[in-house]
Amino acid sequence: DEPPRWTPADAAATVAPVELPGSAGWGVAVEPAADGTDYRIVRRLNNPYSLLRFGFLYFEYNLDANEPIDLVLTVGPPPGTTEGEVVEARVQLRPAAELARAIAAGDRAVEIVPDGTWRALVVPLAEVLRGGNMPANPYIQAIAFAPRDPQSVRAGAGWAFAAPRAIRAGTSPTARVVWSATDETGVTGYATLLDQNPHSLPPTDAVTQETEVRIDALPGALSWYHVRAQDGAGNWGPVEHFPLYVPPVPGG
């Protein structure tokens, strides 16, 4: 996929990468340099993915209550087909006190906690985008974050997003994870860890040669399985973080 970039390219803003472990190189913090700046951070996907198959979107954010930012998605038909039009779908990121009002007004909206600290969110994207002018078999072509009202943008009112991941949800608190690695010096083993932290580093004092694991009881609705490989020269590679998600049962 393309690296994150701002559009329009000449938007007056200060942009800095966000160095969060596990952000897969996709994290950015921005401060608009002028009032009323219409800008957005966009990631266009070289390989659009099926919303019917991967119905949830995970990302991390750092916002405060004075920064009304929306999730903006470019949605189209399956690649190589003309089954529907390409549309832009906007999902408002609202604090709890504003969520019911936004939904009652007919807006697509999900709840966030805009308190100026890093938080994580899983958006039930397939459910939120259902209906309207969506293609029958929708594919996500681009993910963006943008001000809800550019006229309300104030210079220096920064915000940040990182680590978006499309997630395919499970139906029971069990999982099977399979992985592999190759290296010209060979692969001597793997370090692994299961927890609920998206950025954990598996300890390297316990190495396994297994390339598959079955988990009979996930520790929570959103869990992470972390894997890194060791090559034949003893070097440890980067960590791959596998999200394992079972949506909470409403009212449960």
Residues 163 and 190 in one domain: no
The total number of residues written for the chain in this structure: 252
91-97 own/partner pairs: CB under 8 Å, 24+ apart: 91/123, 91/125, 91/128, 91/129, 92/68, 92/148, 93/61, 93/63, 93/68, 93/69, 95/65
Flag whether pLDDT at 2 surpasses 60: no
Residues 160 and 192 in one domain: no
Residues 112 and 205 in one domain: no
Of 111, 134, 167, at which residue does a domain stop? 167
- For residue 129, the model assigns a pLDDT of 93
In a domain, 159, yes or no: yes
In a domain, 52, yes or no: yes
Find, among 210, 249, 2, 245, the residue nearest to 120 by Cα: 245
- For residue 27, the model assigns a pLDDT of 75
Rounded-to-integer distance, Cα 171 and Cα 127, Å: 16
Residue 133's pLDDT band (cuts 50, 70, 90): confident
- For residue 82, the model assigns a pLDDT of 78
User: Residue 180's domain is classified under what CATH number?
Assistant: 2.60.40.10
User: Residue 147's domain is classified under what CATH number?
Assistant: 2.60.120.430
Residues 107 and 229 in one domain: no
Rounded-to-integer distance, Cα 61 and Cα 151, Å: 22
Domain that holds residue 231: 175-245
**pTM given for the model:** 0.85
| DSSP assignment string, 59-122 | EEEE-BTT--EEEEEEEESSTT--SS--EEEEEEEEEHHHHHHHHHTT--EEEE--BSS-EEEE
pLDDT, tens only, 13-70: 666 766 665 555 567 777 777 788 777 778 888 899 999 999 999 999 998 877 789 9
Residues 216 and 233 in one domain: yes
Residues 40 and 113 in one domain: yes
pLDDT, tens only, 146-181: 888 888 888 777 788 888 889 999 888 899 999 999
